[in-house]
Structure 1
């Protein structure tokens, strides 16, 4: 805390517990601005990265009693909300939950910034570029806040779990009314209430992991594909990653709740679900009352009448033989596996604290390919980790070729404050890192194009998701192996799985024509 913050804190009026309680007990209509200001100033909870690093043995409770407070259930009537989402599928899923909560409060969704009464930026902390985009957006929103003083601007998600980010927002972005983290999304109605009536920034970020809150409302995009959270947090502590501090320790949902949700989605006509977790195949390791792991869950998914089941993101350390055995059953368990490797060098992997070697990763890949011969593998790779040598980078290139990845998300290492890797001295110039990324991307493109070439003339099963973004006369969808296919067909087949014959291949997509019946079917 700097001198300015100390002075501000010293000026905050402290109220007795009796005064605070009497303020909280008042009906919403009787509360004054001073009530809210007093209450919130005495309950300000900033993030603490030191606390977030600690892994206690506190029992995680599951709650099934979520409800919108009565006084907030219609407060959004006639008003609109906008949520901008940055980052991974977990953030997208969090946005679905927040949209569900706001909708139950009476708000309607809008894509127009000028029409919004609440704007939430759901943020990502993985890379610096995403962080810069958020601060840039806050700058753009400042004039709008001056025009519309009652507009509520909020920052949530992983960035909000970082102490330095919260301090920066509080000091430099007074237009922000509300800051909350990843563990307390279910508190959104109460936080909005406080933001509406308080004249100070509302900040509530829990360093301690939250409990698991079931029965939260969701607004999903369409009725074709759905994300289903099966667990939260990560215990791996890779030296470059801030997620264990922003998302907390691993907490698994109860299997019966997940199965019930997927069955409900199947009954609603959804064609595909993706099971989500920061480290999805560590699912169930935190259970102390049952022996039920990710392979058991996938086996139960195999029994549900839904055409496609995917999962992301998995960690090589937790990809065990039982899981491989279950995935080999096929059916609705698709043979596309995203398996982040991050580096092909055992030494770099050690410095990353990945807890596996190049050799053990290749052994795992060999097991998967033996059990699932037609498997498609994709991955994540970081180049330019502190002090990465030319030889170590070449090991990544050769591993890329040896495994035969058909796609990869590639990044130049981005230091994250609060992680061990961020304090490492680095002697690799940025020009060298960029050159390595260009070389790696050239190889990724080559291998992707080669994998696509094999589809020419084949017939594939395509889940039609809608019109192509580039041409509304063309439909687009994904194969079982997650390849994009563009083709012409009637709008009536959107949401269905159809056969498409591939007529042309590109580096990252396929073109085809709709067919009625086929004798030869490929994934």
Structure 2
């Protein structure tokens, strides 16, 4: 008797990606064969509801799955389910809502219990499972969930619930498992990563800086990257930890500023102003030389005038982002911003988005060019291709097949017309090594 088949669809943020990976591994452990969507008896969809557009994509994904060749059961989980499960289950009697992502695999197992009863499968899996199933050199480790902020455009705090952190021992176990499976880099993720708080076992509460130090000290993972972290959660303690371990911690921060205008930020209910952002960037660059800064930005927020947009444009130019995710404001029903006056026309938002994207294309190229002549660590993901600690792509012609999945030191030689760096391998970086490398 063949094993039942399943396909996992991920929508949304980095945290969803990590949770989808965990569901994939658990489904494999329970005896499911992982297949393409058209061949699946069960399709699991990890939904997103961060904007109205995201919820529309969720409904489209469910309808697509329902139309697949094998008339699959569709298990929906995630943020859209926590907010509007009835909207999704109304699409078909084959749609099952499971609010708990930890219970998705068990839900799938119940649907095909007769098939699994006689199917041999392991109650555990060895350390190679992650790489065997996911085939990656980099993997996310979820350390935190939920958000206590109340940004006026956001509904994530309702969908995800209050802030809560993964126990330190659990995080360390996940990182060790990744290291044992040959993963070169872990990305610490959370809905509000900087809100991490957990006991170290002796009564002391660790923040994100203490967690980072514990991972460096108590695991052999070669490289650690922080995912998105709010501006107000970046402090001297965190930057000192990053600076103390330049070859273990990626010189990179993704900072969702959302706007560069004080008045717009106030309407967004963000707890900082434009001057705070500039001071923060100065502190970051002073503490971690050569760091690359990425971010998120919303254009066309309700009430954003031409003058306010110009403040944002000027701040983005001054910061000099290496990359920036630019979002046109999308009204999310149930949020204060959705009913604010002076909604910005779609064509105005499109024009402003184009201005910022063109600007960031220039600042990204400048950030890349400034790295010529330095040595930076890179994860080699394909023969001749890798990603630097600064998250720039790099062409490394002498990175042979045996270096794929490895962490190497790369001397940056040049940058092409598209802003892609070119370098050569200086040496392969050993797990846990704290070698001395040049920095910008």
- Cα separation, partners in 2 of 1:504 and 1:435, compared to 1, 3 Å: same
Selected match of 2:250 from 323, 334, 337: 334
Task: Encode CA deviations 1:106-163: one digit per residue, 9 max, x unaligned.
Answer: 101112x33111111212212343333332233333443xx645x2112222221222
- Cα separation, partners in 2 of 1:373 and 1:490, compared to 1, 3 Å: closer
| CA displacement at 1:193 relative to structure 2 | 5.3
- Cα separation, partners in 2 of 1:139 and 1:219, compared to 1, 3 Å: same
Partner of 1:152: 73
Partner of 1:178: 96
CA contact (8 A) 1:274 1:312 kept: yes
Of residues 478-487 and 76-85 in structure 1, the stretch that sits farther from structure 2 once superposed is: 76-85
Selected match of 1:497 from 407, 413, 416: 407
CA contact (8 A) 1:122 1:156 kept: yes
CA distance in 2, matches of 1:89, 1:326: 23
Selected match of 1:486 from 378, 395, 410: 395
Q: Does 1:253 align with 2:166?
A: yes
- Considering Cα pairs closer than 8 Å and 6+ residues apart, tell me whether 1 or 2 has the greater RCO: 2
CA contact (8 A) 1:343 1:381 kept: yes
Partner of 1:390: 306
RMSD: 2.8
Partner of 2:329: 413
Question: Which runs of at least 4 in structure 1 moved beyond 6 Å after TM superposition?
Answer: 285-288
Selected match of 2:180 from 258, 263, 267: 267
Task: Encode CA deviations 1:315-337: one digit per residue, 9 max, x unaligned.
Answer: 11122222122222133122211
Q: Does 1:308 align with 2:223?
A: yes
Q: Does 1:95 align with 2:6?
A: no
Gaps of at least 5 residues in structure 2 are: 114-124, 429-435
Q: Does 1:450 align with 2:366?
A: yes
Task: Encode CA deviations 1:186-232: one digit per residue, 9 max, x unaligned.
Answer: 222443356569xxxxxxxxxxxxxxxxx9x9845236222111111
CA contact (8 A) 1:462 1:500 kept: no
Larger radius of gyration: 1
Task: Encode CA deviations 1:371-414: one digit per residue, 9 max, x unaligned.
Answer: 12222111110001111111111111111122121110100011
Partner of 2:122: none
CA distance in 2, matches of 1:520, 1:278: 32
Q: Does 1:294 align with 2:208?
A: yes
Partner of 2:357: 441
Partner of 1:119: 43
Partner of 1:134: 58
How does 1:178-217 map onto structure 2 within 5 Å? 178-181=96-99, 184-192=100-108, 195=111
CA distance in 1, matches of 2:108, 2:183: 32
Gaps of at least 5 residues in structure 1 are: 1-75, 198-214, 468-474
CA distance in 1, matches of 2:109, 2:245: 49
Q: Does 1:428 align with 2:344?
A: yes
